[in-house]
Amino acid sequence: MDAPSSGPETIADFYARVEAALGPDRRLPVAVEEMPGWDIFPFEIDSLRIKPLAPLADSEPDRRGENEDECWCADPFEPKSDDRLVWWNENWKLSTDLFGSGLPIMLWLSPMTHCDLPTMPPEVAAGIGPLMTTISAAIEDLPSVGRVQLAKYGDGGAHLHLLFMGRPSRMLQLRGSPMLDWEENLPRVPADVVQRNCRPIVEALISTFGGQTGPAAG
């Protein structure tokens, strides 16, 4: 049965519209009048090509931890041996990667309860707003940060991990979503610098929400 034309669009119709815009080699033209033409776009557009459009997948693949029994949260929580752990309390944990980022700070906030954003229990959802505010303010207080950026992707791991990224201060080329393209190419921030940048954020969290410092900020 066809979907009603008055309802939300199907992915088949969405995909068909994208296909209709393809060139003869199944590539979309670079939208030079959009962000690729802005001064914050990190790549030279003369040599830029978009990859040929892939076919629709049969279905969405399972992510890591899609089944709660196989998620990291099914393992015993051992904060002392988690070298990515920045801060935690009984409901939340904040993590980083000591050698993984080119930004002054990149943090992941996760609830201890197994859920994703669309499946967050109301009592968990009620706690996330004040945390987002405190973490964002502490990141923007760092001397090397101009602005905090937030993201929720969730294409790899099923357990909610809300991403906080510090955009380097006065590096205006890194504004907006192209910052992530820069991030991959910037030199890695040394682990001791990541630790020093994490500490004021942990202090702000402990003073408002209690909890403890993790090894990554120790």
Q: Determine contact, residues 112/91, Cβ cutoff 8 Å.
A: yes
Task: Give 104: exposed, middle or buried? Use CB within 10 Å, 0-12, 13-18, 19+.
Answer: buried
What gap in Å lies between CA 205 and CA 212, rounded to an integer? 9
Enter the DSSP assignment of 176.
Answer: S
Footprint on residues 92-131 left by Zn ion (CB under 5 A) = 114
- Sole window of 42-50, 70-78, 103-111, 166-174 interacting with Zn ion (rule: CB under 5 A): 70-78
Window 4-63: residues binding Zn ion (CB under 5 A):
none
From the number of C-beta atoms within 10 Å of its C-beta (0-12, 13-18, 19+), residue 124 rates as middle
Q: Does 71 bind Zn ion (CB under 5 A)?
A: yes
Q: How far is the CB of 61 from Zn ion (least distance, A)?
A: 17
- Closest approach, Cβ 112 to Zn ion, in A, equals 9
- 180 binding Zn ion? (CB under 5 A): no
Which residue's beta carbon is nearest to the bound Zn ion? Answer: 71
Q: Is 73 in the site for Zn ion (CB under 5 A)?
A: yes
Number of residues that bind Zn ion (CB under 5 A): 5
